[in-house]
């Protein structure tokens, strides 16, 4: 039977407040949800930070978001974020490694049990829920011996590394298949460049937003990362007057982020979902461009590079990607008969290099299962 320890026995709040210098540059931190750790939000001049002083985060500290702790927004500060500034809404804690190994606590914090602990330590009305620090610090977590902590961490790290290697090999195979498609594309393309508008046209199914309805949303990842599903938005919670209803085989383009590759082609699984009016949708001309070919082509380095050239500006001042900019982009495109031939080659290579859907599912579920097995033990207080 494992023992437990209250969090205040090994976490000590850091009070390393530093003055913000207007001419200096500072890293800022984003705490990703559901135990996915911390990442760089960006670097800003001190003049862009409203507060006169902020907390200086140190590598190895545990940082947690008061607002989103109940949603798993926390993590160990990595070396690359050492010295980043955070507001008082992101308390940082030093970890007493003589009692709890930081890496052990990092793994434990990814468990549903720890996220539930943070939820129970959070109080407030719907829009003002905050983690109560005192309540959080009084919570208890498992306390194996340091030797057991080392063994648990070593096992989890080893399996995580193997999964990462497998996913890396899969990603490399996918990149190689995309490069092959790009080479075949230009080998089969002939004749003069034509505007992309010869092959696609704007096609939007606008649906009026009703305050009493809910609208399941999609988003688009940059750099050809594809579409992803988001939570439904209530009509009463948006200022948009309409949404774009999605169908299969639509090219979806983000106007704000199209320049960085936020484009994708829908499949049947996206049918009936909605996209904000910031996303413009296009359909292929049946006799000119196969949707499956376009789905692969938008992920090529060539196409992604062309998107960057369509708009000007930097950061928040970047020009939006308007539909006419996209349709005026010059391309060479193989005849549709050759598109189908290239697709056959691409699909055969994909089948040879990708693991089955069940294997991918197993890999994604392995770490959560191991966390449950590792930390779901009977405990008694210290």
179-226 pLDDT per residue, tens: 888 999 999 997 789 999 999 999 999 999 998 888 999 999 998 889
Q: Sorting pLDDT into bands at 50, 70 and 90, what band is 233?
A: confident
Q: What's the CA gap between 68 and 51, in Å, rounded?
A: 21
pLDDT of residue 117: 93
**What does the alpha-carbon distance between residue 130 and residue 137 come to, in Å, rounded to a whole number?**
14
CB contact at 8 A, 101 and 76:
no
Work out the average pLDDT over 33-43. Answer: 88
Comma-separated ranges of CATH 3.90.220.20 domains in the chain: 2-141, 191-333
**Full DSSP string of 132-166:** -HHHHHT-EEEE--HHHHHHHHHHHHHHHHHHHHH
* Listed range (70-74, 105-109, 128-132) with the worst mean pLDDT: 128-132
Rounded distance, CA 189 to CA 199, Å?
14
Q: How far is CA 251 from CA 185, 229, 268, 298, in A?
A: 19, 16, 13, 9
| Strand-strand pairing, 2-6 and 85-86 | unpaired
3.30.470.30, 3.90.220.20, 3.30.43.10, 3.30.540.10: which CATH number matches 2-141? 3.90.220.20
CATH superfamily to which 191-333 belongs: DNA methylase specificity domains (3.90.220.20)
Q: Where are the alpha helices (DSSP H) in the chain?
A: 102-108, 112-120, 133-137, 146-188, 291-297, 301-310, 323-327, 336-353, 357-375
Q: Say whether pLDDT at 349 is over 80.
A: no
Q: What is the pLDDT of residue 17?
A: 95
Q: What is the pLDDT of residue 364?
A: 62
DSSP 3-state of 94: strand
Neighbours of 200 (CB within 10 A): 22
Name which residue leads in pLDDT, 317 or 149: 149
Higher pLDDT residue, 236 or 79? 79
Query: Which residues, other chains included, contact 8 with Cβ-Cβ below 8 Å and sequence gap of 6+?
Result: 137, 138
pLDDT at 378: 44
Please tell me the predicted confidence (pLDDT) of residue 1. 47
Q: What's the rounded Cα separation, in Å, for the pair 191 and 232?
A: 46
Q: What is the mean pLDDT of the chain?
A: 88
Q: Above 60 in pLDDT, residue 120?
A: yes
Taking only the tens place, the pLDDT of each residue in 304-318 is 999 999 998 876 678
79 or 317, greater pLDDT: 79
Q: How confident is the model at residue 227 (pLDDT cuts 50, 70, 90)?
A: very high
124 pLDDT band (50/70/90 cuts)? confident
* Rounded mean pLDDT, 283-306: 95
Give the pLDDT confidence score for residue 361 in this predicted structure.
54
């Amino acid at each position: 039977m494992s023992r437990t320890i209250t969090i205040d026995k090994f976490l000590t709040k850091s009070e390393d407040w530093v003055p913000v210098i207007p001419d200096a540059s500072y890293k800022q931190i984003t705490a990703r949800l559901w135990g996915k750790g911390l990442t760089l939000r960006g670097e800003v001049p001190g003049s862009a930070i409203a507060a006169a002083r902020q907390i200086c985060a140190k590598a190895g500290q545990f940082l947690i978001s008061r607002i989103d702790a109940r949603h798993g927004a926390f993590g160990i500060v990595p070396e690359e974020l050492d010295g980043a500034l955070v507001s008082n809404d992101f308390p940082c804690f030093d970890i007493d490694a003589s009692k709890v190994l930081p890496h052990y606590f990092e793994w434990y914090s990814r468990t549903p049990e720890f996220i539930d602990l943070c939820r129970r330590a959070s109080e407030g009305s719907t829009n003002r829920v905050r983690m109560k620090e005192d309540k959080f610090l009084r919570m208890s977590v498992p306390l194996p011996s340091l030797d057991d902590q080392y063994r648990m961490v070593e096992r989890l790290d080893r399996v995580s590394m193997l999964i990462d290697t497998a996913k890396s090999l899969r990603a490399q195979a996918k990149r190689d298949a995309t490069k092959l498609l790009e080479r075949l594309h230009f080998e089969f393309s002939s004749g003069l460049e034509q505007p992309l508008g010869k092959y696609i046209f704007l096609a939007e199914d606008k649906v009026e937003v009703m305050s009493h309805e809910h609208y399941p949303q999609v988003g688009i990842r940059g750099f050809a990362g594809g579409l992803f599903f988001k939570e439904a938005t209530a009509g009463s919670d948006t200022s948009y007057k309409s949404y774009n209803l999605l169908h299969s085989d639509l090219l979806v383009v983000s106007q704000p982020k199209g320049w960085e590759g936020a484009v994708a082609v829908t499949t049947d699984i996206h049918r009936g979902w909605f996209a904000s009016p910031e996303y413009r949708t296009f359909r292929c001309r049946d006799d000119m461009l196969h949707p499956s070919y376009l789905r692969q082509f938008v992920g090529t380095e060539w196409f992604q590079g062309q998107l960057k050239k369509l708009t000007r500006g930097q950061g928040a001042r970047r020009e939006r990607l308007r539909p006419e900019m996209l349709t005026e982009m010059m391309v060479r495109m193989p005849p549709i008969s050759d598109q189908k031939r290239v697709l056959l080659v691409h699909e055969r290579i994909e089948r040879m290099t990708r693991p089955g859907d069940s294997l991918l599912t197993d890999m994604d579920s392995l770490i959560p299962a191991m966390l449950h097995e590792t930390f779901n033990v009977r405990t008694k207080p210290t």
